[in-house]
Amino acid sequence: MAKKKKPVWFKGRMAADWVTRFTVGDDYLWDTLLLPFDAVATAAHAEGLVDAGVLDLDELRAVKAALGRIKRKAEAGEVGVTPEDEDCHTVIERYLTAELGEIGEKIHTGRSRNDQVLAALRLFLRDRLITIARATSEIVEMLCGVAEEYDDALMPGYTHMQLAMPTTAGLWAAGYAELLVTDIRAVRAAHDQINTSPLGSAAGYGVPHLKLLRKKVAKTLGFKEVQSNVTAVQLSRGKLELHVAHACVQIGATLNRMASDLVLFNTSEFGFVRLPEEYTTGSSIMPQKRNPDVLELARAVYHRLTAEMHVLASVPANLPSGYHRDLQLTKAAVMQSV
């Protein structure tokens, strides 16, 4: 039987197997996504350790080369996180120690998994928010194209689901395009909120006996600023992520209503639009039907987004200051949102 790996925090007796299963949960799956970003943050931290006198330049080069290798392996799906590892930070620490020995053991100097996870998470969220903004912009462009092409295509406008005034399909499309432009502003605001470095706060109370150049490390990672009060880092968990989830909810709300319109307009009774067959599914018992499943699921996802936002709003509530394991749930919630 293979010998069980000891966690990085191990001192004395191992936790019972059920304790590990319960506390890790599905967190290791999310950390597999964070692994490349944690490698990037660790490389920046290693540069800071040179300034602090913990690493020399030769050691830094060896560390960065090893981190580059594990980042590429993670991106290729060759390295992941298992429940036994607990998190991506352990995977990186074990990899560096196996590759570099004592040099690898130095890397955790001056940081805790508490600030390490937030650095990786914020790099991940920054990346995903840019992707979301670009994808939303593409939808805006498509809708503007529809608005221009069908600016004279008459259709009825409704209030209270009753025929109200004549309008055009172009005006319908332009309305959603403008709303999504507003939603992109919310994405930009969320990006601005999470673009701040937690590194150097460690477990929440700083590293008093080590001179870490926090602003320099933040600049290396492209963060616009540092959370200067170290206790604010853990107090902000869930709060900063809530901005991200809220931006996702805003986009989801717009697409929810647009999908509802299209499902309705695609019915035989309305007949305003006709969906391409390749964008629909069939029925197992009624072969003549083509179902707008994509639109219906897009409409439903909005409710999942609001649920994740509720997790982020409620989990940190009533917690005393400092870190608590409850906050682990905020990571999955915001990652699920994006």
- In tens, the pLDDT along 22-75 reads 888 888 999 999 999 999 999 999 999 999 999 999 999 999 999 999 999 999
The arithmetic mean of pLDDT across residues 147-157, rounded, is 97
Q: Copy the structure tokens of residue 226.
A: 């540092």
12 backbone dihedrals φ, ψ, rounded to 5°? 90, -125
Alpha carbon distance 278, 299 (integer Å): 19
Which one of the listed residues 160, 209, 268, 284 is annotated catalytic? 160
Q: What percentage of the chain reaches a pLDDT higher than 70?
A: 96
283 among known catalytic residues: yes
Q: How far is CA 329 from CA 26, 177, 224, 238, in A?
A: 10, 34, 26, 9
Report whether pLDDT(11) > 60. Answer: no
Active site residue 112: no
Provide the 8-state DSSP code for 13.
S
- What is the reported pLDDT for 10? 52
C-alpha span between 175 and 261 (Å, rounded): 12
The per-residue pLDDT of the chain, averaged, comes to: 94
Q: pLDDT for 210-268, tens place per residue?
A: 999 999 999 999 999 999 999 999 999 999 999 999 999 999 999 999 999 999 999 99
pLDDT value for 8: 60
| Local confidence band at 5 (pLDDT 50, 70, 90 cut-offs) | low
**Each residue of 303-333: b (16+ CB within 10 Å) or e?**
eebbebbebbbebbeeeeeebeeebbbbbbb
Whole-number Å distance between alpha carbons of 337 and 303:
11
Is there a contact between 132 and 251 (Cβ–Cβ < 8 Å)? Answer: yes
212 by DSSP, 3-state: which?
coil
pLDDT tens digits, residue range 274-288? 999 999 999 889 988
Q: Say if residue 2's pLDDT is above 90.
A: no
Residue 154, strand partner residues: 168
Query: Helix, strand, or coil here: 269?
Result: coil
Give yes or no for a contact between 70 and 39, defined as CB atoms under 8 angstroms apart. yes
More confident residue, 86 or 6: 86
pLDDT for the residue 287 = 87
Q: In the predicted model, is pLDDT for residue 1 greater than 50?
A: no
HSE, side-chain direction, 13 A CA sphere, residue 67: 25
Q: Of these residues, 243, 268, 283, 303, which one is catalytic?
A: 283
Structure tokens at 80: 């992941």
Share of the chain above pLDDT 90, in %: 88
Contacts of residue 54, defined as CB under 8 A and 6 or more positions apart, other chains included, come to 106, 109, 110, 210
pLDDT score, position 301: 96
The pTM of the full predicted model, rounded to 2 decimals, is 0.93
